């Protein structure tokens, strides 16, 4: 049995992870911690993998603490910058165990992971590309971690193909053109009734391709979370890995 501790266990995602770990035949819940609990309770003696779903402002500190305690971590919390990722890599280099692993996924839903992958395939064929993410109004960050990651992937694919900037004649912008991530405009919608959705728009003269992923329920993230937990528990993923596509045969 893989022993799993959950950090952020009372949250929307954390509580689903607790249920998923309890329901799976090969995982068992070790500790379920939330704000105010002592993270030092999670050690290799009681936990094989910790799952972290909290808020962007505390996730780095939690991951660094867990790594220092010798625990492998699966992270779903968003808000990862290059600076923060560098700190995780540094912590792993100084970790108690040589084979320690941290896995971060911008999105655990297969629909979103595939949409992201298809977008990187399509990117080089289109002059224009924009990303729209649509979420529940209780989400604290914008744009979504997924949309940020998608935009970065599109930008990298465009660079590799030698494409220039996307065409855009905008001269005045009060913010309506969205956040520009690596040259790709990203727009965020917050609407009661939504869960997690992303639309990736590609355009050429006279044609358009739209790739859309819809996660209607948080259960959609759980197979991906359990896959990551199992992969880390099995070993062979030392260091920092980003993106569920690494664990799928795409």
Ligand X SMILES: NC(=O)C1=CN([C@@H]2O[C@H](COP(=O)(O)OP(=O)(O)OC[C@H]3O[C@@H](n4cnc5c(N)ncnc54)[C@H](O)[C@@H]3O)[C@@H](O)[C@H]2O)C=CC1
Ligand Y SMILES: O=C(O)C1=N[C@H](C(=O)O)C[C@H](O)C1
Does position 120 interact with ligand X (CB under 6 A)? The reply is no
CB distance 224 to 110 below 8 Å: yes
139 is a contact residue toward ligand Y (CB under 6 A): yes
58 binds, among ligand X, ligand Y, none (CB under 5 to 8 A by kind): ligand X
At 3, phi and psi to the nearest 5? Answer: -90, 120
The window from 81-89, 105-113, 123-131, 161-169 that contacts ligand X (CB under 6 A) reads 105-113
For residue 143, whether the previous peptide bond is cis, meaning omega lies within 30 degrees of 0, is yes
User: Is 188 marked within a binding site?
Assistant: no
Q: d(Cα 84, Cα 162) in Å, to the nearest integer?
A: 29
**Binding to ligand X by residue 202, rule CB under 6 A?**
no
The residue (of 183 and 243) whose beta carbon lies closer to ligand X is 243
Q: Is 69 in the site for ligand Y (CB under 6 A)?
A: no
Interacting stretch for ligand X, rule CB under 6 A, among 8-16, 17-25, 80-88, 125-133?
8-16
Considering CB distances under 5 to 8 angstroms, the limit depending on partner class, which of ligand X, ligand Y, none binds residue 80?
Answer: none
One of 3, 117, 135, 237 touching ligand Y (CB under 6 A): 135
Tell me if 106 is assigned to a ligand binding site. yes
Q: Which one of ligand X, ligand Y, none is in contact with 35 (Cβ closer than 5 to 8 A by kind)?
A: ligand X
CB of 55 to ligand X, least distance (A): 5
Annotated binding site: 8-13, 34, 76-78, 105-108, 136, 145-146
Annotated binding site for (S)-2,3,4,5-tetrahydrodipicolinate: 136, 145-146
Annotated binding site for NAD(+): 8-13, 34, 76-78, 105-108
| Residue ranges binding ligand Y (CB under 6 A) | 78, 106-107, 135, 139, 144-146, 196
């Amino acid at each position: 049995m893989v022993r799993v501790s959950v950090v952020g266990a009372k949250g929307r995602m954390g509580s689903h992870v607790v249920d998923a770990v309890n329901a799976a035949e090969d995982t068992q819940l070790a500790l379920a911690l939330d704000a105010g609990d002592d993270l030092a309770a999670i050690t290799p003696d009681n936990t094989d993998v910790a799952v972290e779903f909290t808020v962007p402002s505390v996730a780095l500190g939690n991951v660094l603490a867990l790594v220092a305690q010798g625990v492998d971590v699966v992270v779903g919390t968003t808000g990862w910058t290059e600076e923060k990722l560098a700190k995780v890599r540094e912590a792993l280099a100084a970790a108690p165990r040589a084979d320690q692993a941290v896995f971060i996924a911008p999105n655990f839903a297969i629909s979103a992971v595939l949409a992201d992958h298809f977008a990187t395939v399509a990117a080089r064929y289109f002059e224009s590309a924009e990303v729209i993410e649509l979420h529940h109004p209780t989400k604290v960050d914008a744009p979504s971690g997924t949309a940020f990651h998608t935009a970065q992937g599109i930008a990298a694919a465009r660079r590799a193909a030698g494409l220039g900037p996307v065409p855009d004649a905008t001269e005045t912008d009060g913010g309506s053109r969205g956040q520009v991530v690596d040259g790709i405009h990203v727009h965020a919608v917050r609407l009661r009734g939504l869960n997690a959705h992303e639309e990736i728009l590609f355009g050429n003269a006279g044609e358009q391709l739209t790739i859309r992923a819809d996660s209607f329920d948080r259960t959609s993230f759980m197979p991906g979370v359990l896959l990551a937990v199992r992969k880390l528990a099995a070993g062979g993923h030392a260091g920092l890995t980003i993106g569920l596509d690494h664990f799928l045969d795409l």
